């Protein structure tokens, strides 16, 4: 035991140890989290694919008012296939499936660290901690596609950077292959395929251009499968968001709400100003929303709008910092710069930012999560130049927000699991449930039947149960309801950082910030009895 402490200390100084500790902490934080938001859709898609692997997009899922086929929704099914395979062995337990997802978290952490090495970042440990303890990463380890896509993006960036130094054929091949597989998980990988093409051309690796055909061939084969299965191409016919100026502001608000490591960026851009003034002003602005909320100086809607302005400003700081680094590098030696590893990171950052801001169906912190590692990597010089004190402030603030939002989102997801278990109604009656997200999964497990606006055969004296603040199926006008009861849970201290405003972390807007402050209950569950069904 005498030599244990020095050995432990030496182990903790190694990046490998930090990666493992971060992975363990992230895994434990998410291990038994209730299924949340789109998790239910993915689980139901996986259940269909398990029995119908040759017709993956033909399954019917009620995610609006009535069941609709998977091909009318947004995502291709490779991730659902993996869920179907894993759940065939371990079932649909939260613990086992979250453990499966954590493998992608580990891969993302490893690849991010490798990128800091490839970019010769001096203070790579602080970047690793900021990435691993990012609020966006902590809260978005749900059973969705974003963590696998994050791992794919970081792994492909590693391979593309290495292709400039060693064995280009092997590295380009595997980069193209995993990007192609990524396209079968989420189409937002497509701009990175363009980045791959652009980099090969800029490096004049013309003999390697054929590798770009790999992801395109995979997408083409998938499109042929679509034509055979349901007669159209899913990539072309899927739902798309409209381009509007408000999307830009929502994107900036979403970025600024979870990227709180901006102090080194501010100090880097405004390096001529006294550091004490910059730090004091930053902390003052950061703390200002607390007294504004507690003193009730604005209405709830007014406060949310004010908070969004804070977030937008913080988002602008990030991109101003990026441009402040980028422009001088172009002026010095453009020909040399475009061959550098940093330029690869810049292209990833720019391509993903533009694609998400313009084409994502909605803004969400899980979309911003895909951009954050490249912001950190490109802005690594700011952390290299900053003092230990400044980096410590940035890390402390980021960890605080990650814990606050992580606890709140855990409670938010768990609320619907616990409420579904508490519903107790007379036996020998049919109980229908309206509402999607995690509630749909747990209500079904509790024996309730998912309501369909135009298809459900509702009868008099049936019951209808639904929460008030999630997407609900429209109620058929022929069905009349009488209130019986309503259930809610008193707010806790850890829900003060509120993420339960209609799933704001997972879809924000100018009126709904990604997170806010609240002393209200998470939601209310309403119980009604069917008193009339008109013919």
User: Judging by DSSP bridges, how do beta strands 463-467 and 431-433 pair with one another?
Assistant: parallel
**Which pair of structure tokens corresponds to residue 321?**
């910092």
Query: What are 441-447's contacts with CB under 8 Å, separation 24+?
Result: 441/35, 441/39, 441/40, 441/43, 442/34, 442/35, 442/416, 442/417, 443/416, 445/420, 446/420, 446/421
How many helices (H) and strands (E) would you count in the chain? Answer: 23, 9
For residue 245, the model assigns a pLDDT of 67
Domain ranges of the chain: 15-410, 416-533
- Least confident residue range of 107-111, 285-289, 435-439, 528-532: 285-289
pLDDT exceeds 80 at position 293? yes
Cα distance between residue 152 and residue 348, in whole Å: 12
pLDDT of amino acid 61: 95
C-alpha torsion 413→414→416→421, nearest 10? 160
pTM, two decimals, is: 0.92
Instruction: Report which of 88, 98, 93 is spatially closest to residue 50, judged by C-alpha positions.
Output: 88
The Cα diameter of the chain in Å comes to 82
Q: What pLDDT score does 8 carry?
A: 47
Higher pLDDT, 197 or 479: 197
| Residue 520 DSSP symbol | S
3-state secondary structure 13-31: CCHHHHHHHHHHHHHHHHC
| Residues 6 or more apart whose Cβ sits within 8 Å of residue 278 | 263, 266, 267, 270
Question: Are the CB atoms for 406 and 139 separated by under 8 Å?
Answer: yes
DSSP string, 27-64: HHHHTTPPP-TTHHHHHHHHHHHHH-TT-TT--EEESS
Between β-strands 431-433 and 449-450, what pairing exists: parallel, antiparallel or unpaired? parallel
Q: Which pLDDT score, from 0 to 100, does residue 276 have?
A: 77
Q: Which residues pair with 173 in a beta bridge?
A: none
Q: Which residues lie closer than 8 Å to 225 by C-beta, 6 or more apart?
A: none
Give the pLDDT mean for 55-68.
94
Q: What is the pLDDT of residues 248-284, one digit of tens each?
A: 889 999 999 999 888 888 888 887 777 777 787 888 8
pLDDT in tens, 196-252: 999 999 988 989 999 999 999 999 999 999 999 999 999 888 776 666 667 888 999
- What tens digit of pLDDT does each residue of 323-332 get? 888 887 777 6
User: At a CB cut-off of 8 Å and minimum separation 6, what does 26 contact?
Assistant: 102, 105, 132, 137, 138, 141
Of the candidates 100, 103, 93, which has an alpha carbon nearest to the alpha carbon of residue 32?
A: 93
Residue 409 near residue 499 (C-beta atoms within 8 A) = yes
Residue 277: φ, ψ to 5°: -65, -45
Q: What is the pLDDT of residue 112?
A: 96
């Amino acid at each position: 035991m005498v030599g244990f402490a020095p050995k432990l200390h030496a182990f903790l100084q190694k990046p490998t140890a930090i990666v493992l500790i971060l992975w363990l902490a992230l895994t434990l934080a998410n291990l038994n989290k209730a299924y949340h938001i789109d998790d239910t859709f993915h689980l139901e898609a996986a259940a269909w694919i398990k029995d119908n692997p040759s017709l993956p997009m033909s399954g019917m899922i009620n995610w609006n008012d009535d069941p609709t086929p998977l091909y009318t929704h947004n995502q291709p099914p490779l991730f659902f296939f993996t869920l179907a395979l894993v759940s065939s062995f371990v079932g649909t337990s939260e613990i086992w499936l979250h453990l499966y997802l954590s493998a992608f978290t580990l891969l993302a952490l490893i690849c991010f660290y490798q990128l800091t090495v490839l970019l010769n970042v001096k203070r790579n440990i602080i970047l690793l901690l900021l990435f691993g303890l990012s609020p966006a990463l902590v809260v978005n380890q749900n059973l969705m596609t974003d963590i696998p896509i994050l791992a794919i993006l970081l792994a492909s960036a590693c391979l593309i950077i290495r292709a400039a130094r060693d064995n280009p054929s092997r590295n380009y091949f595997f980069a193209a292959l995993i990007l192609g597989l990524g396209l079968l998980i989420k189409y937002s990988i497509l701009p990175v395929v363009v980045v791959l093409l652009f980099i090969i051309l800029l490096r004049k690796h013309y003999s390697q251009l054929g590798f770009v055909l790999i992801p395109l061939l995979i997408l083409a084969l998938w499109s042929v499968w679509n034509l055979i299965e349901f007669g159209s191409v899913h990539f072309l016919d899927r739902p798309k968001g409209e381009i509007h100026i408000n999307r830009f502001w929502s994107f900036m608000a979403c970025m600024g709400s979870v990227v709180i490591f901006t102090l080194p960026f501010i100090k880097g851009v405004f390096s001529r100003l006294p550091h004490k003034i910059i730090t004091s002003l930053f902390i003052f602005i950061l703390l200002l929303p607390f007294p504004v909320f507690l003193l009730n100086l604005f209405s709830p809607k007014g406060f949310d709008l004010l908070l969004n302005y804070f977030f937008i400003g913080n988002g602008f700081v990030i991109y101003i910092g990026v441009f402040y680094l980028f422009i001088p590098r172009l002026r010095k030696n453009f020909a040399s710069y475009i061959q550098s590893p940093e330029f690869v990171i810049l292209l990833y950052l720019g391509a993903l930012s533009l694609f998400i801001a313009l084409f994502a169906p909605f803004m969400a912190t899980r979309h911003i999560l895909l951009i954050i590692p490249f912001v950190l990597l490109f802005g690594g010089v700011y952390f290299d130049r900053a003092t230990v004190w400044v980096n410590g402030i940035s890390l402390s603030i980021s960890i605080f927000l990650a814990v606050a939002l992580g606890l709140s989102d855990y409670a938010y997801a768990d609320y619907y699991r616990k409420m579904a278990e508490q519903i107790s109604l007379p036996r020998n009656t049919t109980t229908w449930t309206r509402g999607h997200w995690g509630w749909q999964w747990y209500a079904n497990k509790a024996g309730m039947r998912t309501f369909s606006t135009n298809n459900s055969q509702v009868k008099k004296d049936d019951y209808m149960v639904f929460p008030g603040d999630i997407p609900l199926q429209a109620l058929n006008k022929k069905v009349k309801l009488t209130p019986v009861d309503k259930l809610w849970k008193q707010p806790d201290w850890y829900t003060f950082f509120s993420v339960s405003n209609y799933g704001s972390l997972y879809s924000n807007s100018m009126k709904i910030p990604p997170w806010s402050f609240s002393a209200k209950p998470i939601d209310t569950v309403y119980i009604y009895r069917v008193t009339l069904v008109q013919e």
